[in-house]
Homo-oligomer: A and B are copies of this chain.
């Protein structure tokens, strides 16, 4: 395999000179219908309102070829060391199915990794069933009704977004739901708030930390333990109310303070861990293992789709390539993610981590400084809320901010009202369509303040309904998009050295042993408030 920087590819110079496709003259109904690609899990990707014409497609296909994008993906799932900085394999795809031919599998540390992930899944299935059936109860014999995940970053954002995204579907399917809450921040106001009104006897805490050393998570473990003890309930045993999701070698794994442990390993980064035990335990407890399994199958379908060599049939690959055109040729630094689904209200926060932590890199995989921009800033809120907030800027601001719209024909909970001749869901979709077209086509007006420039680019991920399968595909679509972009930029999307310096300095301050005058001045600034 050949690893080269984007600007060193032969196709880059030609691509760089290619003007954007003009949507105001070129957006036809045929283009819209033709630009849809299945993305797995009954999800579709439509790129009609991206500044991409047939010439662009040809060059992007060449770029995919030259940077060997699908080959690198195949190498990754085969166990190549794609996390070069940390010298590790990258195996999150394996948590939802094997992408290798025949009975090939990936071996690491002398262990069949597919078997390992499946073993954990089986254990999670059995455990979650036992808890939901009341065969495993709290220490005072009461059935568990609430689960509280204690984790931060990838142990929080993904699982939290998925929990919110699945809840409405489960309500409508009459699936029994254990309420899930999440504690993440080291700010003591976070656990204090989440623990308020909690019935500890019917609560199970899930402590999630791969290393078993995350400052926030260990601190919040102590916080919860203190609160448990303060209850003074006869026969209550804290250890029966805590389970861990951690690596086999972490201090947590051997702890007596937990009822059971479920394992993850070093080959799955936090932001890619929602389909590992990190997401499996909390979601299987909350919604039952079957719901989680459906999510995995949707994610696997998207993973299979991403193997497709033809860029016009590979949704994640084309999304990635178009994103690079926007970022490197058109020099657009941000992307807005706008789901027209309240259930996805925290999904942009998950994507913000996934994308910005993976590709917010200024050195390539060999540690050489890059001379072109990499991962964009990701932000977003659900529509139609955002329409009444920051869309003004997207429509009439001085900068172009590309958009990833997400929408569903049907609501999740299937409860609606007709006003002025349409349902709320119909209004939601009408607004989504209206925005796509308004951004793309703009509007001429005699009053410049009422003009819309148009050619504000967007793509659309859409499906009939936000089911577990569709959600799984949506999750995997973005993971694969980010992976392909990392290959194009020649960065390592799987490490995060940028989080280390802050940790080190915070440790210095807390140990009190620092002599740095700048740190001291800030401590002084806060001390003066006392």
From B168, B341, B360, B520, A390 is in contact (CB under 8 Å) with: B360
Contact of A377 among B46, B379, B450 (CB under 8 A): B379
Q: Verify if A519 is at the interface (C-beta below 8 Å from B).
A: yes
Q: Is the beta-carbon distance between A389 and B356 smaller than 8 angstroms? A: yes
> Is A80 in the interface zone, CB < 8 Å from B?
no
Q: Check if A434 sits within 8 Å of B506, measured CB to CB.
A: yes
Q: Which of B29, B368, B420, B518 touches A448 (beta carbons < 8 Å)?
A: B368
In the complex, the answer to whether A32 meets B449 with C-beta atoms within 8 Å is no
24 residue pairs from A and B, CB less than 8 Å apart: A32-B522, A186-B384, A186-B424, A187-B341, A187-B424, A188-B428, A189-B341, A189-B411, A271-B389, A349-B381, A352-B390, A356-B392, A356-B393, A357-B392, A360-B390, A367-B448, A374-B397, A377-B399, A388-B499, A407-B526, A409-B529, A434-B519, A462-B529, A464-B530
- CB-CB < 8 A to A383: which residues of B? 185
Q: Which residues of A (429-451) have their CB < 8 Å from a CB of B? A: 429-431, 433-438, 440-443, 447-451
Q: Within the assembled complex, what's the spacing in Å between the Cα atoms of A522 and B430? A: 9
**With the chains together, A390 CA to B496 CA distance in Å?**
10
Q: Is the CB of B372 within 8 A of A398?
A: yes
In the complex, the answer to whether A417 meets B187 with C-beta atoms within 8 Å is: no
Q: Are B387 and A502 in contact (CB under 8 A)?
A: yes
Q: Give chain B nearest CB distance to A362 CB in angstroms.
A: 5
Interface size for A (C-beta < 8 A) is 154
A424 interface neighbour in B32, B223, B378, Cβ under 8 Å: B223
Would B505 and A393 count as touching, CB distance under 8 A? no
Nearest CB in chain B to that of A42: its residue: B529
**Of A32, A416, A434, A522, most B-chain CB atoms within 10 Å:** A522
Q: Please, which residues of chain B bring their CB within 8 A of the CB of A234? A: none
B residues near A530, Cβ cutoff 8 Å: 409, 464
- Once bound together, how far apart are the Cα atoms of A367 and B393, in whole Å? 16
Bound state CA distance, A375 and B69, in angstroms?
37
A154 (CB) vs chain B CBs: closest residue: B388
Contacting pair B33 A524 (CB below 8 A): yes
The answer for the CA separation of A462 and B525 in the assembled complex, in Å, is 9
Say whether A137 faces chain B, with CB atoms less than 8 Å apart: no
Determine whether the beta carbon of A189 is less than 8 Å from that of B496. Answer: no
Instruction: Tell whether A157 is near chain B: CB-to-CB under 8 Å.
Output: yes
Least CB separation from A418: chain B residue? B222
A285 to B129, CA, bound (A): 43
- The listed residue with most B CB atoms (<10 A of its CB), out of A369, A374, A379, A520, is A379
CB distance from A457 to the nearest CB of B (A): 15
Q: In A173-187, which residues have CB < 8 Å from any B CB?
A: 184-187
Contact A498-B426, Cβ < 8 Å, known A396-B361, A398-B373, A417-B226: no
CA distance A154 to B389 in the complex (A): 7
Instruction: Collect the chain B residues with CB atoms within 8 Å of residue A464's CB.
Output: 529-530
A452: shortest Cβ distance to chain B, in Å? Answer: 5
> Does the CB pair A506–B427 fall under 8 Å?
yes
Q: Given that A193-B168, A498-B392, A499-B388 are known contacts, is A525 also in contact with B33, CB under 8 Å in the complex? A: yes
Question: Which of A87-95, A138-146, A212-220, A317-325 participates in binding chain B?
Answer: A212-220
- Interface residue? A334 (CB, 8 A): yes
- Top 8 A-B residue pairs of the complex, sorted by shortest distance between their CB atoms: A360-B393, A153-B388, A434-B505, A29-B521, A379-B379, A360-B397, A353-B389, A395-B498
A3 to chain B, nearest CB (A): 15
The answer to whether A275 has its CB under 8 Å from any CB of chain B is no
Taking the nearest CB of chain B, how far is it from the CB of A446, in angstroms?
10
Closest chain B residue, CB of each to CB of A420:
B510
Pairwise interchain contact A525-B384, C-beta atoms closer than 8 A: no
Cβ–Cβ contact A193 & B342, under 8 A: yes
B385 touches A152 (CB 8 A): yes
How many angstroms from the CA of A219 to the CA of B168 in the assembled complex? 20
In the complex, whether A340 has a CB less than 8 A from a CB of chain B is yes
A81 within 8 A of B: no
Residues of B within 8 A of A496 (CB): 392
Q: Are A424 and B219 in contact (CB under 8 A)?
A: yes
A387: chain B residues at CB < 8 Å are 153, 499, 502
Say if the beta carbon of A136 comes within 8 Å of chain B. Answer: no
**Do B188 and A415 have beta carbons less than 8 Å apart?**
yes
State whether the Cβ of A239 lies closer than 8 Å to any Cβ in chain B. no
